[in-house]
Amino acid sequence: MTDSRATALDFTPAPAAAPFGRMVLAQAGAEVRATLRNGEQLLLTLIIPVLLLVGFSLAPLIDIGGGSRIDFLAPGVLALAIMSTAFTGQAIATGFERRYGVLKRLGATPLSRAGLLLAKTAAVVAVECVQVAVIVAVALALGWRPAGSPLAVLQALLLVLLGTAAFSGLGLLMAGTLRAEATLAAANLVYLVLLGAGGVVFPLSKFPAGMRPALELLPISALTGGLRSVLTGGAALPLGALAVLAAWAVLSLGLAARTFRWE
């Protein structure tokens, strides 16, 4: 405290909120930095997806039933990356923000709750951009040849957007109702289960026929299936997948909005 007299500060009240856009940008920037700096988050969002992509495409560990392994894997790993950021990462980070009183403290600043949610969404999308860039680059290097038509890209974007909304809703639903430690455990468990049962690296066709209809209703299955059909086959708009994702988005966001506790 040696310099306590050194600086004159003018405390005369001059209260005013920053413009909405600047507040959202500031908060989103802080969230992106926090994610990229956090080791566990990086493991989840980048390292695991890239390892799965490289490992399963190079080694014949899985039987995808004909076709190029990388063409099968790349869309699945993209879907996994979206889930890891929008759902797992967001649930854990938000759960602990609630526990540490960060959400409460931010509630006493001019940043509104809508602004905070917008900032979180922007941060998730920004991290997803980094993930997609890295995963697509690695996949291309491994010989991935996706359908690159503008229509296919547009359809893929639409799927990613709906997937992000659905997974964000699920993540916030968890973070806003469970204790932070419970969220941590549950979010990781759900991540593992969906990784195994959502057609990410193991094709759904390998599961018993009786289970398949149920598995296809999972948000991760809809996202992997949808991305795969659009990016591999250049197929028409996968309406089924879009409908499943939209339903999850509406349901989870609606429930999260009703149940979220900020403290």
Partner 1 sequence: MCTSLSDFHSWVIESAKRAGRRLSISGHAGLRHGAAGAVPTLVAMESPAVELIDLVKRYGGTTAIDGLSLRAERGAVTAVLGPNGAGKTSTVEICEGFRTADAGTVRVLGLPPGRSALRPRVGVMLQAGGVPPAARCAEWLRLVSRLYARPLDCAALLSRLGLTEHARTPYRRLSGGQQQRLSLAAAVVGRPELVFLDEPTAGLDPQARHACWELVGELRSAGVAVVLTTHHMDEAERLADHVVIIDRGRVVAEGSPASLTGAERQLRFRARPGLGLDELLNALPDGSAAKESPAGHYIIEGQVGPELLATVTAWCAAEGVTADDLRIERRTLEDVFLELTGRELR
| Binding footprint of partner 1 on the chain (CB under 8 A) | 1-4, 6-7, 9-19, 22-23, 26-27, 30, 33-34, 37-38, 96-97, 100-102, 104-105, 107-112, 263
Which CB sits closer to partner 1, 1 or 239?
1
219-239: burial string, b at 16+ Cβ within 10 Å, e else:
bbbbbbbbbbbbbbeeeeebe
Which CB sits closer to partner 1, 113 or 206?
113
Instruction: Kindly state the smallest distance separating residue 119's Cβ from partner 1, in Å.
Output: 11
Instruction: Kindly state the smallest distance separating residue 26's Cβ from partner 1, in Å.
Output: 4
Contacts of 101 by beta carbon, 8 Å cutoff, 6+ apart? 263
Which CB sits closer to partner 1, 239 or 263?
263
Which CB sits closer to partner 1, 105 or 206?
105
Instruction: Kindly state the smallest distance separating residue 99's Cβ from partner 1, in Å.
Output: 9
Q: What is the CA radius of gyration of the chain?
A: 21
CB atoms within 10 A of CB 188: 15
Instruction: Kindly state the smallest distance separating residue 14's Cβ from partner 1, in Å.
Output: 4
Which CB sits closer to partner 1, 104 or 145?
104
CB atoms within 10 A of CB 182: 12
Instruction: Kindly state the smallest distance separating residue 263's Cβ from partner 1, in Å.
Output: 7
Q: How far, in Å, CA of 134 to CA of 164, rounded?
A: 18
Distances (CA, A) of 258 to 63, 172, 176, 249, 255: 43, 11, 10, 14, 5
Distances (CA, A) of 198 to 90, 143, 157: 20, 24, 19
Instruction: Kindly state the smallest distance separating residue 33's Cβ from partner 1, in Å.
Output: 8
Which CB sits closer to partner 1, 104 or 206?
104
Query: Tokens 């809508």 identify what position?
Result: 114
